[in-house]
Amino acid sequence: PTRPPVVIVGAGRLGGALGLALAAKRWPVRLHSRGTEGRERAEALGLKSASPADLRRARVVLLCVPDAAVPTVAVELSATLPRTAALVHTAGALSLDALGDAKGRARGSFHPLCAVSSPRDSLVGHAVAVSTPSRALRDVLRRMAADVGLQVLDVPESHRAAYHAGAVMSAGGLVALADAAVLALGAAGIPPDAALAALLPLMRSALRGVEARGLSGGLTGPIVRGDAGVVEAHLGALPEEVAPLYRLLSRRALGLAGNRLRPESRAALERLLRS
């Protein structure tokens, strides 16, 4: 069936968000949690807890548990689930081997590229990385993604680490970059709360520019203007721990600027950013 019975293991943020999204599209979905707290979270979200019969009927079992728990949970479930139930983890960094020896069972991964901070967060408009050697399971996961509103990325198992590194840089790395920017404003005497409140709209406007005009077209600031004097002043004013990051990002921006810079401007910037 195009919408087979699904059991989500884990009633946390991602498990709840996927459960709500699938239930809204009439998927037969249940949440499975061994603890009373997890069952209470599922009930608070309006989702049904999985009974032993639901586990026997399940055709897709999504493991929305911490990465370190995936192998243990997979082994425990494999001992009780029918062979017709596919095991699918939602961890970006783990290979399918984390699900144990297949032994006739379909295995896959379904990793939404979304920073889910609440089970009521919407997943619509985000991407999801899908990996499985099973054509039948891939079709089900693609249907699941389409119904939830996720764009599918097929990630080869051999390149999973590179994929996950890029995903981490765009989310956790962005938060770390914001922290560095707040520290830079702190050197100008601006309190952290006020600095963050001022920088967040600026960051959103930069992302809108990238969305509308691409990476190179969305680039702004002294690098794309070829203003070596401003860059030199920045390097002299930044806290010691932030200056190396500024140099690294500016060298990346210099590459994005392409041939828009005059040769003398590019040469001056390269000299400043070399050290």
Q: What is the pLDDT of residue 275?
A: 67
Mean pLDDT (the chain) is: 94
Helix (H) or strand (E) holding 141: helix 135-148
- 257 contacts 219 by C-beta, under 8 angstroms: yes
Backbone conformation region of residue 258, classed left if phi is above 0, alpha if psi is from -120 to 50, else beta: left
Backbone conformation region of residue 111, classed left if phi is above 0, alpha if psi is from -120 to 50, else beta: beta
Q: pLDDT by residue (tens digit) across 209-233?
A: 999 999 999 999 999 999 999 999 9
Q: What is the pLDDT of residue 267?
A: 95
Specify the domain boundaries for CATH 1.10.1040 within the chain. 162-273
Candidates 3.50.50.60, 3.10.290.10, 3.40.50.1370, 3.40.50.720; CATH matching 6-155: 3.40.50.720
Q: What is the pLDDT of residue 33?
A: 87
Provide the 10 A C-beta neighbour count for residue 120: 11
| CATH annotation of 162-273 | 1.10.1040
Helix (H) or strand (E) holding 30: strand 29-32
**Could you list the pLDDT tens digit for every one of the 275 residues in the chain?**
679 999 999 989 999 999 999 999 999 999 998 778 888 888 899 999 999 999 999 999 999 999 999 999 999 999 999 999 999 999 999 999 999 987 889 999 999 999 898 999 999 999 999 999 999 999 999 999 999 999 999 999 999 999 999 999 999 999 999 999 999 999 999 999 999 999 999 999 999 999 999 999 999 999 999 999 999 999 999 999 999 999 999 999 999 998 899 999 999 999 999 86
Backbone conformation region of residue 226, classed left if phi is above 0, alpha if psi is from -120 to 50, else beta: left
Count of residues making up the chain: 275
Specify the domain boundaries for CATH 3.40.50.720 within the chain. 6-155
Picking from 3, 60, 143, the residue whose alpha carbon sits closest to that of residue 50 is 60
